[in-house]
Amino acid sequence: MPPTAPTPAMRILLIEDDELLASGLQQAFAKAGYETDHLGAAEPALQALSHRRHDLAIVDIGLPGMDGLELLRRLRGRGDRIPVLVLTARDGLDDRVRGLNDGADDYLIKPFLLPELLARMQALIRRSLSAATSRLALGPLVLDVATREATLGGQPLAFTAREWDLVHLLVLNAPAVVPKRRLADSLGRWDREITDNAVEIYVSRLRAKLQGTGLEVRTVRGIGYRLDL
């Protein structure tokens, strides 16, 4: 299932010097419901991010002049917490770690598939909004992160502690796939590991509670799970 359309007011700043790629992405983002501003260099991007509110920045590392990592360092250095997704043709582990250490929220290696890019964008924006409001919403399901309470269609929905952790992680990343190992690590505690079989049990319980709501926990074989609307 393709990613659901975001709120129309969501605005993206695309910083990419490849004009052909940028044009294609702008068209795809418009179809997905985003408003997009495009710049081909880092210096004007710093100015744009100072004067106009964007919900997400997509930054190519290989920019002319100041590269994308230096732009990222300057953004974080002045306290700008805008979510940043880095695009890079560099697939080495050191390059990816460096980008995350410099303040990137996520990265995607070129060439990439458009559905994955859209899913990662939506997840980053959702995380940013939840940090600001303490509320997460996906269709009829609303999570209050501060109180760890949930409602479904306006009605209270009870979760155990681990069911809450599971649904929170799935909603936070929807519609992207969350690897089973990551779910196991998140559901575990420092004194007790969670097995893959235990994850499957919690997923089964969550599916039962969401049955008939339009929300579905889908299995992506060999990878993990995603929450679809």
Predicted local confidence at residue 146, as pLDDT: 77
Task: Give the per-residue SS3 of 100-161.
Answer: HHCCCCEEEECCCCHHHHHHHHHHHHHHHHHHHHCEEEECCEEEECCCCEEEECCEEECCCH
Could you say which of 73, 97, 131 is where a domain stops? Answer: 131
Tokens found for residue 44:
């004007």
Contact 56, 34 (CB under 8 A): no
Which phi and psi angles does 56 have, rounded to 5°?
Answer: -160, 140
% pLDDT > 90, the chain = 34
pLDDT in tens, 127-183: 777 665 677 888 889 888 778 889 988 899 999 988 988 998 898 888 888 888 878
Helices marked H in the chain: 19-31, 42-51, 68-77, 93-101, 114-133, 161-173, 180-187, 196-210
pLDDT for 14 beyond 50: yes
Predicted local confidence at residue 181, as pLDDT: 80
Do both 107 and 79 map to the same domain? yes
Residue 14, classed as helix, strand or coil, is: strand
Could you say which of 84, 106, 131 is where a domain stops? Answer: 131
Predicted local confidence at residue 3, as pLDDT: 47
* Angle, in degrees to the nearest 10, between helices 114-133 and 19-31: 60
How does the average pLDDT of the chain come out, rounded?
84
CA nearest neighbour of 108 among 134, 122, 90: 90
Say if residue 95 is exposed, middle or buried (CB neighbours under 10 Å; 0-12, 13-18, 19+). middle
Kindly report the CATH number assigned to the domain that includes residue 144: 1.10.10.10
The pTM assigned to this predicted structure is 0.59
Do both 44 and 120 map to the same domain? yes
Host domain of residue 124: 11-131
Could you say which of 116, 131, 146 is where a domain stops? Answer: 131
Do both 33 and 118 map to the same domain? yes
Distance CA 46, CA 36 (A): 16
Which phi and psi angles does 35 have, rounded to 5°?
Answer: -95, 135
pLDDT in tens, 51-102: 767 889 999 998 999 999 999 999 988 888 889 999 988 766 666 677 777 7
